[in-house]
Structure 1
């Protein structure tokens, strides 16, 4: 009986932590542009402060972790641009590349911020900020649907 409980616990833990891997986030802009071009899909660039931005953390839970977004994500190329405060989250080289993208595509430094791009890096639309009091991701779903439909 103990083996069965242990086995079931492992399955549950694996499914909970494995959900994070359902989304295929790229972190290299040039790779994202090439994948976008090859697959004829828009890029969804997500600016986040993964370890300090409370609205980013809530958006991850309310939007990115949903089955609805997981289905939508099949029609876009996901690019995460993380600007964490802790230096053990991403490499120094990655942080430098991310800050460069921040200076080009997110000059106001708003977090969270989602920017849709074509394969050349041309901005197709933006969706920024997230209300921690309302926690309503509907405008994000509408934004992604619009980008997919218009691309």
Structure 2
């Protein structure tokens, strides 16, 4: 019973940074708030580098601070393999459209820094070599240049 409670608790609180689900909404919000968009392509239940990226960078305090400081909007295009982890049909369709446009080679993880119009400013293929602080500082530098 204790294990079940712990698992439920961790599942509820493990995703502390909220990801937008609509690219159009993310672009609209980014334009209104003068923010950048971080678009991440991941395989959350099968891609070990994707899991490490989320744990070590996306869920870090440095990265979360960029979101709370209105520097960026985080959008995750997830492609899980397990049936129990499948997103809704609407989200699957949107993720497929995003992959067609921004990730035609199917790289995982692939992280893109975009402006509010969807133009690519920076690309990270695979697990970034930077730690969360350097990764976040690089994004902040792009934000300050615009």
Q: Which TM-score band applies after superposition, normalised by the shorter structure?
A: 0.7 to 0.9
- For residue 135 of structure 1, report the CA deviation from its aligned partner: 8.5
CA root-mean-square deviation? 2.5
Correspondence 1:81 to 2:77: yes
| Larger Rg, first or second structure (1 or 2) | 1
Correspondence 1:110 to 2:104: no
Number of residue pairs matched? Answer: 137
Structure 2 counterparts to residues 49-128 of structure 1, below 5 A: 49-74=43-68, 75-89=71-85, 90-128=87-125
- For residue 58 of structure 1, report the CA deviation from its aligned partner: 0.7
TM-score by length of 1: 0.77
Query: What is the distance in 1 between the residues matched to 2:135 and 2:74?
Result: 14
TM-superposition CA deviations, 1:35-93 (whole Å, max 9, x none)? 00110101111111111111010111111121111112231011111111124330122
Query: What is the distance in 2 between the residues matched to 1:38 and 1:91?
Result: 27
Query: What is the distance in 2 between the residues matched to 1:19 and 1:143?
Result: 25
TM-score by length of 2: 0.80
For the residue of structure 1 that corresponds to 2:76, the secondary structure is: strand
For the residue of structure 1 that corresponds to 2:122, the secondary structure is: strand
Query: What is the distance in 2 between the residues matched to 1:130 and 1:139?
Result: 13
- For residue 139 of structure 1, report the CA deviation from its aligned partner: 5.4
Q: CA 1:122–1:78 in structure 2 vs 1: closer, same or farther (change >3 Å)?
A: same
Whether the aligned pair in 2 keeps the contact of 1:127 and 1:140 (CA below 8 Å) is: no
The equivalent residue for 2:38 is 44
Query: What is the distance in 2 between the residues matched to 1:17 and 1:135?
Result: 28
